[in-house]
């Protein structure tokens, strides 16, 4: 009994989605670390915890999304993790808008643009991975 090979498009899309998920995880790691790396520019309290929790959520959910994409490629029936990309995208959206929602608590400049840029990048990458998982499950 011959097994059918996945199409090149599905394989390439899966590989791209897996890379997008891992890159979103790296952005989450940056968001998590940025208050400490860019010390002195972010206030303590709410903005600090927003970055720590948001970055950690993006990192964990993106890693789980990459795992789910790999599992999907191996079993072709795995539906685990189709939600992880979408939740990571929502966390990315929060990181992007948090400088404006928490206005006055986050210093303008480097940290603000780090949050906006990192949040938008995480949003796009995680949404792509979530979309891929949703289409394949």
Question: Token digits for 19?
Answer: 């890379």
**Residue 132 CB partners (closer than 8 Å, separation 6+):** 13, 14, 16, 17, 20, 69, 85
Kindly report, residue by residue over 63-76, the tens digit of the pLDDT.
998 888 877 766 65
**From CA 46, how far away is CA 56, in angstroms rounded?**
15
Domain ranges of the chain: 10-136
The pLDDT value recorded for residue 78 is: 54
**From CA 39, how far away is CA 51, in angstroms rounded?**
13
The CA distances from residue 137 to 8, 79, 86, in Å, are 18, 5, 14
The pLDDT value recorded for residue 9 is: 37
What is the mean pLDDT, run by run of 10 residues, along the chain of 137 residues? Answer: 47 78 95 82 73 94 87 63 87 93 68 90 93 77
């Amino acid at each position: 009994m011959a097994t059918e090979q996945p199409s090149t498009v599905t394989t390439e899309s899966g590989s791209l989605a897996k890379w997008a998920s891992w890159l979103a995880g790296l952005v989450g790691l940056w968001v998590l670390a940025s208050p400490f790396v860019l010390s002195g520019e972010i206030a303590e309290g709410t903005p600090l915890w927003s970055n720590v929790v948001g970055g950690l959520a993006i990192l964990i959910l993106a890693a789980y999304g990459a795992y789910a994409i790999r599992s999907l490629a191996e079993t072709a029936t795995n539906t685990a993790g189709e939600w992880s990309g979408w939740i990571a995208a929502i966390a990315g959206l929060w990181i992007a808008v948090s400088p404006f929602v928490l206005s006055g608590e986050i210093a303008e400049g480097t940290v603000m643009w780090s949050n906006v840029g990192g949040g938008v990048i995480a949003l796009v990458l995680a949404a792509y991975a979530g979309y891929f998982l949703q289409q394949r499950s």
